[in-house]
Chains A and B, each alone.
Chain A
Amino acid sequence: MKQLIEDIAKALVDIPEEVSVREVQGEQVTVLELKVAPSDLGKVIGKQGRTARSIRTILGAAGMKLNRRFTLEILE
């Protein structure tokens, strides 16, 4: 799942070298913390948060196939 988010984020930003994802395993939920260059924050969030919402939808669906809940946190 880390790879899923990392590759999507790298495709969206201008500075892919600064993309990093940390996976934090909880009991019920796995949290993925996405970090990008400050100048790229808008690229992963999108207008009205639409891009972030789309990434969360993709993550949620992929998690469903694994019967596990994932959430995405975009770190500022």
Chain B
Amino acid sequence: MTQRKYSASSIGPQIDTFLRTTLGNGGFQVNYSIQDVDPGEDDFETPDVVVKFSGQDVDLLLSNRAELLLAMEHVTMEMLRMHSDDHSRVSFDANDYRLLRIEELRLSAVTAAEKVKRTGVPFRFNPMNSRERRVIHLALRNEPAVRSESAGSGPGRQVVVYPAGMASLPEPPRGSAPPPRRGGPPPRSRGARR
């Protein structure tokens, strides 16, 4: 990643105030620490700042594919008025979930690339958020035999891996992804993981 833009001393106090209030109001039993991250060597996914959670309710943070952890992270970054391009610079983590997830994504990227090379058939990943899609794209950037792109919109956006020369498939028909919601309960259906 490019030069450091945020640090625990620049955004830490705001994050701390927000989390203390939110976690307190919600009755969540967790502790957290806000830390600068040393830029790793080849590690393109190294954020500037990480917020690490521990304690009794960590399981709750990580349940349902870390839904609550990611929700906290998103709301915190909106609170900081952070541009979405910068969202990978701050990462919330607990029990190294994020680290393991990145490893898992890299492995599945490699597996998908192998499959596409062998069969010549495009491979479509399940929908992922922008950060996870980025991990897939970056993992494939040194694979000249395949290319990857994102297709679809909103929560249904997904990475498609093609053989290098192949033209993109048409977008799946509109309406196949859940529409953005403004009211009512959150969408209930959650597809299988892979």
Chain A interface residues (CB < 8 Å from chain B): 1, 3-4, 7-8, 11-12, 43, 45-58, 60-62, 64-66, 71, 73-74, 76
Contact = CB atoms under 8 A, between A and B. Distances in A.
A7 to B, nearest CB: 5
Contacts of A73: 183
Given A48-B154, A56-B186, A8 B181 contact: no
Contact of A4 (B22, B67, B79): B22
Interface in B146-194: 153-155, 180-183, 185-186
Interface string B32-76: 000000000000000000000000000010000001101110110
Contact of B74 (A51, A61, A65): A51
15 contacts: A4-B25, A47-B84, A50-B155, A52-B182, A53-B71, A54-B70, A55-B75, A58-B26, A60-B186, A62-B26, A62-B27, A62-B28, A71-B185, A74-B182, A76-B182
Nearest to B26: A62
Contacts of B75: 8, 12, 51, 54-55, 58
SS class, residues of chain B in contact with chain A: helix
Contacts of A62: 25-28
Interface size class of B (residues with CB under 8 A): 20 to 34
Contact of A49 (B79, B153, B180): B180
B9 interface: no
A60 B18 CA distance: 18
B111 interface: no
B110 to A, nearest CB: 29
A22 B18 CA distance: 22
